Structure 1
């Protein structure tokens, strides 16, 4: 099941930033998904939902060139990768593409990591250069602007190993935006963040896509913090997927058909609660608007 093109009026007038055609991906003898067609246009935010093991993170890794497709193609602004050809027909990997920003899942750094917070952000500014990085004119101002943008000024000069998971994730967000990417891939960027930090990071991502007209693909286990900002949802489950607006996808009948089991979408105040969705590790899993990778 798939919805049509994005609702943005300019989407049909310009080529998509990310184009996926008939993509399939296997892990051993298990097919995670197949027949995936997806265009992500400038200024569009698409959330990726699904149960544990459905292949949400693997999709991002395939776009980055870290996983090989078993079928189909992925094209990012003209650089195409086909199944079985990690370098693509033009001999270029998406890996290392400075126009793609990536916020990984939050994994706390070791306590004895001496790297300062601003050094972590600086890696996004000069980490691609060969040899000993020599700060260029404007680098420090760029790092300061990124640090301020993610609200990290108070802890930017402390060792990152001594920072909380939420503070580290803010710095990772700043690092990912260092090159003003046209495509931003976010893998559970709100993990370990309290509500205030969640809103700060969402605000940063949303501001970047609006000001830079960037495309955003964001994997999340909880759609609620994004409601009102997300344009479309890609929901993957049981090797199948559905794509559409939140109103089209987050419905009991749609998710029941996707899972092949009774699933209910309830509204509790301003939150959506998905109840009864089967998880990869349990026959029935109750979500508080959350679906875990």
Structure 2
């Protein structure tokens, strides 16, 4: 059953999950990222995906996007097997450095969200321009609509990226480490944009992050990946010393101070990934 939600989100149909995994596993050669994953994500739900480097967080997102096939089990997204190019699934990628001389403007990036990423001339209709302007205004980026993206700050660029994603009116919003390199002010702005969307439109949010504290008050459930296994539940159920110690197979201490969570003693799997073959096409688990 879906987790409890407020009255705004409850107005949406929660009769069927938008993401469903049963017995799911994903491996790269001999390395098992995660296995035996049973998970339903519901309309309007905010799911945080946590875990150390190499635990398979980004690969989980790629599976939802239809870019990686499961090793075992089944996965449906919006009631069907995942496929590339599904416009009902929006994706906010990790931040990428852009050269200052890049001439692509903020409004051009959002327009790609409406038109797609195909090359060739596009019909510049008044309706499309109005939709771009409305989207930029909704994410607080109207004032730099005509500024080259390479000149924007990290926080400004992430606002535009979210605008690009929301321009498709998605049912699912996938965010892969969208808070990297952002200061606390811009972290708060980005998370508030994402949270507002799921409350206003019932959009399910899958939010990959290394740092739970910026989204702790927003999250319905946590999927914590580590050591080829996982834990699923509310933050209070998963982010405990007992739960994470069982997951890692070693003592892990979870400390809560003034509403913030610190995890101490969790092994970092980044070094372990170097002992296995790199995934195809340079994909990082």
Partners in 2 of 1:197 and 1:146 — Cα distance?
A: 18
2:2–2:14 contact (8 Å) kept in structure 1: no
CA separation of 1:13/1:193 partners in 2, compared to 1, >3 Å: closer, same or farther? closer
- Per the TM alignment, residue 154 of structure 1 is displaced from its structure 2 partner at its CA by 2.6
- Cα RMSD, aligned residues only: 2.0
1:17 aligned partner: 18
CA separation of 1:233/1:32 partners in 2, compared to 1, >3 Å: closer, same or farther? same
1:126–1:135 contact (8 Å) kept in structure 2: no
- Per the TM alignment, residue 162 of structure 1 is displaced from its structure 2 partner at its CA by 1.7
Partners in 1 of 2:105 and 2:228 — Cα distance?
A: 42
Partners in 1 of 2:117 and 2:148 — Cα distance?
A: 22
2:31 aligned partner: 30
1:127–1:133 contact (8 Å) kept in structure 2: no
Aligned pairs, number? 269
Aligned pair partner of 1:194 in 172, 183, 198:
183
For residues 54-203 of structure 1, what are the structure 2 equivalents within 5 Å? 54-81=55-82, 94-127=83-116, 131-203=120-192
2:56–2:225 contact (8 Å) kept in structure 1: yes
Partners in 1 of 2:159 and 2:2 — Cα distance?
A: 32
1:88 aligned partner: none
- Per the TM alignment, residue 129 of structure 1 is displaced from its structure 2 partner at its CA by 6.4
1:107–1:165 contact (8 Å) kept in structure 2: no
Mean CA deviation greater in 172-181 or 195-204: 195-204
1:190–1:198 contact (8 Å) kept in structure 2: yes
Do residues 53 (structure 1) and 54 (structure 2) align? yes
- Per the TM alignment, residue 112 of structure 1 is displaced from its structure 2 partner at its CA by 2.3
SS at match of 1:21: strand
In structure 1, the gaps of 5 or more residues are 82-93, 284-292
2:43–2:202 contact (8 Å) kept in structure 1: yes
Structure 1 or 2: more helix by fraction: 2
CA separation of 1:132/1:206 partners in 2, compared to 1, >3 Å: closer, same or farther? same
1:98–1:179 contact (8 Å) kept in structure 2: yes
In structure 2, the gaps of 5 or more residues are 273-284
CA separation of 1:160/1:12 partners in 2, compared to 1, >3 Å: closer, same or farther? closer
Mean CA deviation greater in 23-32 or 237-246: 23-32
SS at match of 1:266: strand
Q: Deviations over 1:60-90 (max 9, x none)?
A: 0011011121111211122125xxxxxxxxx
Partners in 2 of 1:78 and 1:267 — Cα distance?
A: 38
Mean CA deviation greater in 166-175 or 58-67: 166-175
CA separation of 1:13/1:64 partners in 2, compared to 1, >3 Å: closer, same or farther? closer
Could you state the TM-score of these two structures normalised by the residue count of structure 2? Answer: 0.89
For residues 254-293 of structure 1, what are the structure 2 equivalents within 5 Å? 254-281=243-270
Could you state the TM-score of these two structures normalised by the residue count of structure 1? Answer: 0.86
Partners in 2 of 1:145 and 1:12 — Cα distance?
A: 26
SS at match of 1:278: coil
- Per the TM alignment, residue 184 of structure 1 is displaced from its structure 2 partner at its CA by 0.7
Aligned pair partner of 1:207 in 193, 196, 213:
196
Partners in 2 of 1:13 and 1:171 — Cα distance?
A: 29
